[in-house]
Structure 1
Amino acid sequence: MAIRTLIVDDEPHALEIIKKYAVNVPEIEIVDTCNNALKALQFVQHTKIDLVFLDIKMPGLTGTDLIRGLKTPPMIIFTTAYQEYAIDGFELNAIDYLLKPVPLERFLRAIDKVMQFINGDKNRRHLKEPEGLATAAPTHFLYLRIERQLVKVDTRDILWIESVKDYIKVVTTDKTFQTKQKISIAEKLLPIGEFMRIHRSFIIPVNKTDAYHPNYMIIAGNKIPIGRNYKLACSHKFNPGTDLL
């Protein structure tokens, strides 16, 4: 499903950054860009739009005024250099709030929130839910920058994530991806409760562990080491009620 997207910002550089990020996400279809809120208001009133990246502080009509002027607003991700506007943004039920300059990893987290919202919301009339998925759990993706492109990895396919110097290896059921990224950033982008850091260099999916030992986990026949500082948490998680061996 293409997410029809409008980008609104009176700063050309800020607009181009969001556009540069967005064109690499397969689900996003950039319908248009606007440099002021009044033009954007007229555009949204006459064109089907699912998502708007919207600057708040613009000359004339502000981003928040634009949203208040719409009877049925689309999904909104506010972008602004002013943190004090965050409360206004969330009071208008924004999906997310991005502070400029917007880092790529923060942009991707916002996109993930959009995907979760689409998959979990049953009441938005402008979004058509795929047949047969009414009771399915929301799909979560990890986006990796590889060779100047963003590659989408279904987190359900991940076996483990390994840190190697300045890179991470994302090992899936059928492929291994490598990208320059800190493992701590990847950890923040994963669905809460489904993955666990068991070593300074390893993250594993909780539901794919085949066996637990105080010193390692077995996943798909592979031993994944448990770091000394993570042993107690792993014991509580995978072997509750017993002491460490």
Structure 2
Amino acid sequence: MELLNQIMPNVVDLFPDLMKALKDTLLMVLISGTIASAIGIPLGITLVVTREGNLLENKLIYFILGKFVNVFRALPFVILLTAIIPITRFIAGTTIGLKGAVVPLIFAATPFVARQVESALLEIDPGVIEAAKAMGSSPLEIIYRVLLIEGLPGIVYALTITIVSLIGFSAVAGTVGGGGLGDFAIRYGYQYFRTDIMIVTTILLLLIVNIVQSLGEYLLKRLSH
């Protein structure tokens, strides 16, 4: 402990704050990731089934949803963060801290999930869908029994990428008072030139990313079998 105190004195002094920042980062990623997935997965499915020549072809719905997704995906997160401040304040009641970060994270992650899910489902062999049609399955049955079941590995992979992206976004949100490890690194490390805090914060973020990626790869292998 004494050696650690000599090597990283600032980290030892601010350890309770570091743990709170870690908890905030995990919470904001969990909350925003869950909500973004709950919205993005149905949105991605809708983009697939309403495409031209697909199950529920509807050019108007596909056009509107496609443009919506493209607009939010094209915006850099820092710009999105500031652009939706009025919406964030209306929904969360604040633009700082954990609550203030969750809303823009959801806006950033939802279209990302939608496009990733769309790409995963479009890789399903059309012959499988045609076979389901020939057996008399309804569109809803095909969506559940074919698209979701066959596309589950791709959806898991998409969600893994989304969570990893959210971890990075959460660090960016911290630079403008969003809380979490990003806010901790800027407030206690960067502004006071405390190298040990910057190093430890970076290591924690890398650990979280590697754990998420490893878990995602494990689930992907299990589902692929």
Higher relative contact order (CA 8 A, sep 6+): 2
Greater percentage in helix: 2
Q: Quick check: TM above 0.5?
A: no
TM-score (norm 1): 0.27
